[in-house]
Amino acid sequence: MARIESINPFSELAGTVAVVTGAYGVLGKSACLALARAGVKVGVLGRKREKLDEVVAEIAAGEGEALALPCDVLNRAELEASLAAITAQFGHVDHLLNYAGGNRPDATALPPERQFFDLPKEGLQFATDLNIMGTYLPCQVFGKHMADRKRGNILNISSMAAYKPLTRVVAYSAAKAAITNFTQWLSVHMAQEYGPAIRVNALAPGFFLTEQNRFLLTEEKTGQPTARGKTILAHTPQGRFGEPTDLDAAMLFLLSPAARFVTGVVLPVDGGFSAFGGV
């Protein structure tokens, strides 16, 4: 009888090199640790050096390899310096994970005290720039490196807000819809112009508790779900908020050789939220 070979596509990620933007956020940090456990060398990218060093130290404690890349994703010169630093250390970059993003209260309409009509330009601009330009620019800088090598993976972060605009979060919803469209566009552009071994996909997380949305979903004093949080849970068939490791498994799949024929996909990781019709 022929021997059945076991398949572990994640093992083939070992030795590859990834850059993760937003690397010390709740989801970004979890992604960095999951990559390191899979044997990936990780460039952890973000603005605050001390927080990057904490992630690097945690990876090193698990005998992984990582490099802190202090950088603002809205600054092309700093992104180019980060590319130079990681290629000097590890030789090249195989994967770009665009976890930088988020929202803030003054880009969120909460009538009657915070009307849409009164939201300041600065708040709206922040959410738009961070989520859209904070993805475009890393894709330009690290994507050019991949185009030159004719291989690589780009993984963007979309949202449930890209499927249907969520009440309250006006700028964030519009920005994440743009990321879904951009992911599809870039997947075609990279494959046709620079080689089919360059893949571009995105994850669309359901509702995970992060520093940006915690104030909307849970009560500050009790930690219990707010009215909005309860509504979300009622519309999530699995009845819970996501945990970072839920997203990590999908991330590893999309970067792995198991997904070599998958590009231009936006994969929901949402406990069924996007499938639920409300009745």
Query: Roughly how many angstroms between the first and final C-alpha of the chain, as a whole number?
Result: 51
* CA 189 vs CA 32, 146, 178: distances in Å: 27, 13, 16
Q: Could you tell me how many residues make up the chain?
A: 279
Structure tokens at 203: 């994850």
Is 163 annotated in the active site?
A: no
3-state SS track over the chain? CCCCCCCCHHHHHCCCEEEEECCCCHHHHHHHHHHHHCCCEEEEEECCHHHHHHHHHHHHHCCCCEEEEECCCCCHHHHHHHHHHHHHHHCCCCEEEECCCCCCHHHCCECCCECHHHCCHHHHHHHHHHHHHHHHHHHHHHHHHHHHHCCEEEEEECCHHHCCCCCCCHHHHHHHHHHHHHHHHHHHHHHHHHCCCEEEEEEEECCECCCCCHHHHECCCCCCECHHHHHHHHCCCCCCCECHHHHHHHHHHHHCHHHCCCCCCEEEECCCHHHCCCC
Among residues 24, 99, 136, 172, which one is catalytic? Answer: 172
Residues recognised as catalytic? 172
